[in-house]
Amino acid sequence: MDGDIAPLQEICCLASRYGALVFVDECHATGFLGPTGRGTDELLGVMDQVTIINSTLGKALGGASGGYTTGPGPLVSLLRQRARPYLFSNSLPPAVVGCASKALDLLMGSNTIVQSMAAKTQRFRSKMEAAGFTISGASHPICPVMLGDARLASRMADDMLKRGIFVIGFSYPVVPKGKARIRVQISAVHSEEDIDRCVEAFVEVGRLHGALP
């Protein structure tokens, strides 16, 4: 929600010290974090120290549905016997599986998409900060534009939509009180022109509502 990156290196050190296994939910990392998009563990160089990874097919890998858990064979067997979401869910449609499989093929075949995402994210964050906005998180494609006021976030999001930019205002109880924001998510299909037009719209709307001088 905040575009932050977990301190996974420190977590892995603690796990090693106390004989624990590391489980990571990578739903907001799979497909774009790390040199080849494998996630936070690749980004921070601890792939060999993470035992269990849970992620989704519903975000970066095509925006479809479903998810997965990877880990040791005995764990996977246990989940197949005991995990209620697995036992009581229908199988994914073949088209969804095909889409997700192709997305993984594209990521494994080249790091062009990942590099493009990183460049576009940096472009948006730097231009927004130069304009005077506060962007939460650390170089993550989820870019929360921090506004603080729930009404302001809602009204600005509505005016952004009028300008052809679809963003959502988040406020309490989805986020803590006083932490209202508009969350922007950079996509690989966005062009540099799209990024610049979005920033221009934010500046225009921000000045209209007094969020910028």
Is residue 74 a part of any domain in this protein?
yes
pLDDT band at 1 (very low <50, low <70, confident <90, very high): low
Is residue 169 a part of any domain in this protein?
yes
From 44, 76, 109, the end of a domain falls on 109
pLDDT band at 122 (very low <50, low <70, confident <90, very high): very high
Confidence (pLDDT) at 91: 84
Confidence (pLDDT) at 163: 96
3-class DSSP assignment, residue 26: coil
Give the C-alpha separation, 206 to 202, whole Å: 6
In this structure, the answer to whether residues 21 and 99 fall within a common structural domain is yes
Tens-place pLDDT, residues 142-164: 999 999 999 999 999 999 999 99
Sequence-separated (6 or more) residues with CB below 8 Å from residue 197: 164, 165
Confidence (pLDDT) at 63: 65
pLDDT band at 85 (very low <50, low <70, confident <90, very high): confident
Give the C-alpha separation, 4 to 184, whole Å: 14
Total domain count for the chain?
A: 2
Nearest Cα neighbor of 2 from 170, 154, 209 is 170
Is residue 92 a part of any domain in this protein?
yes
Provide the whole-model pTM: 0.85
In this structure, the answer to whether residues 87 and 124 fall within a common structural domain is no
**Average pLDDT in the 105-117 region?**
90
In this structure, the answer to whether residues 123 and 136 fall within a common structural domain is yes
In this structure, the answer to whether residues 50 and 38 fall within a common structural domain is yes
Give the C-alpha separation, 58 to 44, whole Å: 24
3-class DSSP assignment, residue 17: helix
In this structure, the answer to whether residues 51 and 103 fall within a common structural domain is yes
The enclosing domain of 173 has a CATH number of: 3.90.1150.10
In this structure, the answer to whether residues 126 and 149 fall within a common structural domain is yes
Domain region containing 36: 8-109
Is residue 126 a part of any domain in this protein?
yes
pLDDT band at 178 (very low <50, low <70, confident <90, very high): very high
Tens-place pLDDT, residues 30-44: 988 998 889 999 999
